[in-house]
């Protein structure tokens, strides 16, 4: 596909972050427009600018984020006019000559692929990044970040509450290669600063954290990392670009498991990392090629389509989450419920300040009276539309037992230290009717 061949970009509004775009002309489909603002192509390849308006030209001025979610990084196919990006299901790409090797930007799909490149351009624009790099899974993205920016003898300050796979990769994989980790409560930027050492090269946060929903003040922690010459990577999977853009808050790298809200339909697994500078993006692409963990073209195609409705889906999910959380707060069998949109949320001030437009996401958690046994009984008996399984962020509502599923690979003492008990109930709200979601939970709670 043409991606952004010859395209100029204009800025899109993102709350108070709208700025004048400084995109330069792109010379290759593998090199998306670089901007600190959300942007869409002003014209697609094959369409000519005219003094008067005509089909195929873009309206002048700023456009809203929902428009960017649909159109960012994408242009009609130059050869056919197809409105969807083609799936380039090809291992290799024919070269015109040895001297012209890679002249078109592609050689082998382990290194880069045209369909994947379009998704990378889309995410880069949504994140305000110099470039993005797509991976086969979210964990592939995490492992590649650590591979790219940590070496033997280096130190990383890592949140003590993260996705269980992140914790395991640090302890079991990189620890045996001589990389040191400090697991710290990222609610306290001073604690992060105190944990830094002369050999600290990477600070790795997650906000909202999986599954406790604790928040990191990204601007404060980024300042800590910058003062010590370390990079700050934020896993913003729970947040989505609708809630916050880590790079705009000072982070160097922003990571998402696209499996979750970018997909939103339980169809694919994938990951993406967006970088503040071209040099960081190039390093990620280099190490992705080393690992051979690029996203598949078909996965990129599906994610390109599903991400278009992220705004519609996620706002509906957030509305459901608030209604479910409000109900749980009133039920006599519930001991505690945590959701960033509740007045009772422990970090309500930070949530109000850091989460754009009062958007607090579709995730919440609770514990019920009667301890872990009662919590597990609730998860075993809660009826549809709730589904007992792993994953989150999908249109289907999901109830998860982290101690057995998503965080079972954490050391039990580490898991309990951050509050993930055996009866901890994680809820990912879908887009079903909120009344049905509440009714199913009420039936299960009343039976405890």
Catalytically active residues are 110, 163, 235, 260
What is the rounded CA–CA span in Å between residue 388 and residue 382? 8
What is the rounded CA–CA span in Å between residue 411 and residue 286? 32
Q: What is the 3-state secondary structure (H, E, C) of 382-397?
A: CCCCCEECCCCCCCCC
Distance of CA 151 to the CA centre of its chain: 25
Tell me the Ramachandran region of residue 399: left when phi exceeds 0, alpha when psi lies from -120 to 50, beta otherwise: beta
156: three-class secondary structure by DSSP: strand
Burial label for 176, CB within 10 Å (0-12, 13-18, 19+), is exposed
Angle at 164 between CA 160 and CA 166, to 5 degrees: 75
Which tokens is 402 given?
A: 């982290």
Residue with tokens 């949320």: 345
Count of Cβ atoms closer than 10 Å to residue 447 Cβ: 11
DSSP for 275-314 reads ESSHHHHHHHHHHHHHHT-BPPHHHHHHHHHHGGGHHHHH
Q: What is the DSSP letter of 272?
A: E
| Cα maximum dimension of the chain | 74
**Which of 169, 150, 167, 149 is closest to 159 using CA atoms?**
167
What is the rounded CA–CA span in Å between residue 255 and residue 146? 12
**Which of 264, 284, 268 is closest to 276 using CA atoms?**
284
Residue 173's alpha-carbon distances to 165, 182, 256, 329, in angstroms, are: 11, 15, 21, 40
Q: What is the DSSP letter of 139?
A: H
């Amino acid at each position: 596909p043409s991606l952004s061949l010859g395209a100029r970009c204009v800025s899109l509004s993102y709350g108070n972050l709208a700025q004048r775009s400084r995109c330069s002309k792109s010379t290759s489909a593998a090199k998306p427009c670089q901007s600190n603002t959300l942007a869409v192509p002003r014209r697609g390849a094959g369409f000519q600018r005219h003094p008067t308006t005509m089909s195929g030209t873009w309206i002048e001025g700023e456009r809203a984020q929902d428009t960017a979610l649909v159109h960012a990084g994408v242009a009609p196919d130059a050869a056919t006019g197809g409105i969807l990006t083609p799936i380039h299901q090809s291992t290799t790409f024919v070269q015109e000559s040895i001297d012209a090797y890679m002249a078109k930007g592609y050689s082998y799909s382990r290194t880069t692929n045209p369909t994947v490149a379009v998704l990378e351009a889309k995410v880069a624009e949504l994140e305000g990044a110099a470039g993005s790099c797509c991976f086969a899974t979210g964990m592939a993205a995490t492992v590649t970040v650590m591979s790219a920016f940590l070496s033997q003898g280096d130190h990383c300050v890592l949140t003590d509450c993260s996705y269980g796979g992140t914790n395991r990769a640090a302890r079991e994989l990189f620890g045996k290669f001589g990389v040191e980790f400090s697991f710290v409560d990222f609610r306290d930027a001073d604690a992060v600063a105190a944990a830094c050492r002369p050999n600290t090269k990477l600070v790795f946060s997650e906000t909202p954290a999986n599954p406790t929903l604790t928040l990191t003040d990204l601007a404060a922690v980024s300042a800590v990392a910058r003062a010590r010459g370390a990079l700050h990577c934020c896993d913003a999977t729970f947040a989505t670009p609708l809630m916050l853009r880590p790079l705009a808050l000072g982070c160097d790298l922003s990571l998402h498991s696209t499996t979750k809200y970018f997909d939103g339909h339980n169809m694919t697994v994938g990951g993406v990392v967006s970088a503040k500078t071209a040099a960081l993006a190039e390093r990620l692409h280099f190490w992705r090629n080393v690992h051979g963990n690029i996203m598949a073209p078909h996965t990129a195609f599906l994610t390109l389509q599903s991400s278009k409705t992220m705004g519609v889906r996620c706002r509906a999910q957030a509305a459901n989450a608030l209604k479910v959380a409000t109900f749980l707060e009133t039920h006599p069998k519930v001991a505690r419920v945590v959701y960033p949109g509740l007045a009772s949320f422990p970090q309500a001030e930070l949530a109000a300040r850091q989460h754009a437009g009062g958007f607090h996401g579709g995730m919440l958690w609770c514990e019920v009276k009667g301890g872990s046994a009662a919590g597990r009984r609730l998860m075993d008996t809660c009826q549809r539309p709730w589904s007992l399984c792993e994953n989150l962020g999908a249109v289907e509502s999901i109830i998860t037992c982290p101690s057995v599923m998503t965080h079972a690979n954490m050391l039990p003492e580490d898991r309990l230290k951050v509050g993930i008990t055996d009866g901890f109930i994680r809820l990912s709200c879908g887009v079903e009717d909120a009344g049905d979601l509440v009714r199913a939970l009420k039936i299960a709670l009343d039976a405890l």
